């Protein structure tokens, strides 16, 4: 038991280093907040214009859509862990072998860093929550279970995205190119996660495709609990589904990494 706690303590310390580095640059913080605020304003006014001459679309009211889209914008950064760029940097600097020799699990070390990075980013967006509630009348649920399902699904969704990105990042071992791969992933993720368009308003076939991608688990599922699009009665079923995603992707990502790392070509160091 003590060994497990000591190992978890190591991953916690590793993650906190990442969190501190995210909060160390003041200019970056204010620039990021400005961009996020502008993005929130654009999305709110865009969807208000879409609903200008109608009360609902596919049975979804304007207030439900605005609630969802504001929450989704605040979670939109959770579709990227940065692991693809990190793999590219490790290859270019010749540091991959050093990382693999450290006495901690390489994948769980990066997972701890990603979770702390996402948690820090969410805390640093508290101003967006204030703007959304005060100026755009964001309506949050009164049922406590909705918040419980939101938090659990958010953590599980982030872990799912990380494992999926980990598998994509393994391609870098063969191509030695991470920038283009990351841009492609970001483009697909921003659309299929539901950060731009609620999945409930997509055509049925496209919604089915989006729901089968990991990206929707980190944005659409948590946001739909707080916006009321998903009733709390569906919570246990959806959390079980997320747990199965986590277990499956964890095993698959570790298998793929073990196979693909044999093709890594160290460029620097």
Would you say residue 122 has pLDDT above 60? yes
Q: Quick one: angle between helices 83-93 and 179-192, nearest 10?
A: 170
Model confidence, pTM:
0.83
Q: Output DSSP code: residue 267.
A: -
Token pair of 119, please?
């948690």
The structural domains of the chain, with segments of one domain joined by +, span: 32-263
pLDDT reported for residue 243: 95
Percent of the chain, pLDDT > 70? 88
Would you say residue 268 has pLDDT above 60? no
pLDDT reported for residue 25: 66
Q: pLDDT tens across 170-222, in order?
A: 888 888 778 888 888 888 888 888 888 888 888 889 888 888 888 888 888 99
Would you say residue 139 has pLDDT above 60? yes
Q: pLDDT tens across 235-262, in order?
A: 899 999 999 999 999 999 999 999 888 8
What does each C-alpha distance from 30 to 36, 116, 127 come to in angstroms? Answer: 10, 20, 11
What does each C-alpha distance from 160 to 80, 171, 214, 221, 252 come to in angstroms? Answer: 11, 18, 6, 12, 12
């Amino acid at each position: 038991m003590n060994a497990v706690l000591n190992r978890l303590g190591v991953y916690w310390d590793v993650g906190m280093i990442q969190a501190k580095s995210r909060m160390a640059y003041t200019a970056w913080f204010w620039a990021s907040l400005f961009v996020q605020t502008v993005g929130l304003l654009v999305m709110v006014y865009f969807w208000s214009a879409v609903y200008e001459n109608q009360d609902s679309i596919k049975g979804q009211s304007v207030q439900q859509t605005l609630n969802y889209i504001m929450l989704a914008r605040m979670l939109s950064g959770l579709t990227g862990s940065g692991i693809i760029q990190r793999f590219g940097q490790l290859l270019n600097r010749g540091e991959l072998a050093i990382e693999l020799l450290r006495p901690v699990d390489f994948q769980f070390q990066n997972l701890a860093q990603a979770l702390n990075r996402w948690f820090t980013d969410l805390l640093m967006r508290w101003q967006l929550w204030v703007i959304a509630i005060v100026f755009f009348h964001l309506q949050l649920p009164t049922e406590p279970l909705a918040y419980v399902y939101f938090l659990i699904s958010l953590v599980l969704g982030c872990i799912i995205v990380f494992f999926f990105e980990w598998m994509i990042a393994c391609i870098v071992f063969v191509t030695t190119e991470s920038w283009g791969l990351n841009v492609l992933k970001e483009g697909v993720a921003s659309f299929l996660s539901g950060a731009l368009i609620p999945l409930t308003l997509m055509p049925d076939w496209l919604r089915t495709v989006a729901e089968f991608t990991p990206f929707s688990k980190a944005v659409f599922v948590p946001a739909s609990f707080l916006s009321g699009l998903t009733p709390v009665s569906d919570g246990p079923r959806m959390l079980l589904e997320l747990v199965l995603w986590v277990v499956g992707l964890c095993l698959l990502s570790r298998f793929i990494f073990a196979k693909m790392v044999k093709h890594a070509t160290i460029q620097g160091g």
